[in-house]
Homo-oligomer: A and B are copies of this chain.
Amino acid sequence: MTDAKNTQIFLKKRPDHIPEPQHFDIREVDMPVPQAGEALCKIHYLSLDPYMRGQISGRHITGTVHEGDTLLGQTIGEVIESKHDDYKIGDMLCFHGGWQSHAICNGTQTSLVDPRIQPASLALGILGMPGLTAYAGLLDLGEPKKGDVLVVSAATGGVGSMVGQIGRIYGCRVIGIAGSAEKCQWAVEQAGFAACIDYHKENVAERIDALCPDGVDIYFDNVGGDILEAVIWRLAVGARVVLCGLMAQYNDDKLPPGPNPGAIIKARATVRGLVVYDHVHRQADFVSDVLDWLADGSIAYKEDVAEGLAQAPESFCRLMRGNNFGKTIIKL
């Protein structure tokens, strides 16, 4: 036994709308002890993602976080004690460790972090679940072809920034939608988008009309709400829509309605729902391609890193307000 403690962030009170830091709290508990088939990891990086709001609301397929529960989340952890045959001390694992300083890993949904991935935090971003979401969602569901007009919302986020850049590599003309002039500038200057619409300052429908006179061939939607409504009426015939995220409604208790289905008929569009866990068979292709693109400079990335587990509530709330810029990461 050791006197060392494990620090956790837990849900203190379920928020009704946009979460605030006071909905969360921090606690120390006894250090967990690995049993046979388990490894104890010290967490180095925690990923904060919009889907976590759905877990708090009890409507996400990956599970529900109740009041009093430690928050869930993907992490990069270093093995410090192992009773698991596959993991040895010093290994870096990507697994669902949650919002805490230490976590037990039993091998479920776990991968060794490819040593080519530097810094390891990228395994939570462009080389992790958000990257795979973008890669499989765009390539397998969006079916990009050279010359397609691709529109992506939350365009500088963990998923959106990769969607746009992979689309560009595949020959699409990429239009982003993001929430500040700074984000739009990054999308165009660093990520190579053809244009980026600032939805706080510009009328999205009018800008899409102006930028996409022949309509939108692929819409990769990370937000739902008014932006989905604006884009879906501007699809080209035969368009594909990938529904990935619903940021516009994660903070609402009641589900708002969606677009009239006539928009889909009008465009003879194909609309597909994306859940990344259906696409893990694409992991090897994905890592190989993205490492190549990183190496040859085809892909830019931006991380929004805060240091210290205690920063996680504020960082997550900032993400929920749309004030993050890049993939949100906590470095422990």
Contacts and interface: CB of A to CB of B under 8 A. Distances in A.
A273 B266 contact: yes
A258 B255 contact: no
A260 B262 contact: no
Contacts of A59: 262
Nearest to A61: B266
Interface in A35-61: 59, 61
Contact of A246 (B257, B262, B272, B278): B262
How many copies of this chain sit in the oligomeric assembly?
A: 2
Nearest to A260: B255
Given A255-B260, A258-B259, A270 B272 contact: yes
A249 B259 CA distance: 13
B273 A264 contact: yes
B268 A272 contact: yes
A273 B268 contact: yes
Contacts of A259: 257-258, 261
Nearest to A238: B278
Contacts of A224: 260-262
6 contacts: A228-B261, A258-B258, A258-B261, A265-B274, A268-B273, A268-B278
Interface of A: 59, 61, 221, 224, 228, 243-244, 246, 249, 255-262, 264-275, 278
Given A228-B261, A265-B273, 9 more contacts: A221-B261, A255-B260, A256-B260, A258-B258, A258-B259, A261-B273, A264-B271, A268-B275, A268-B278
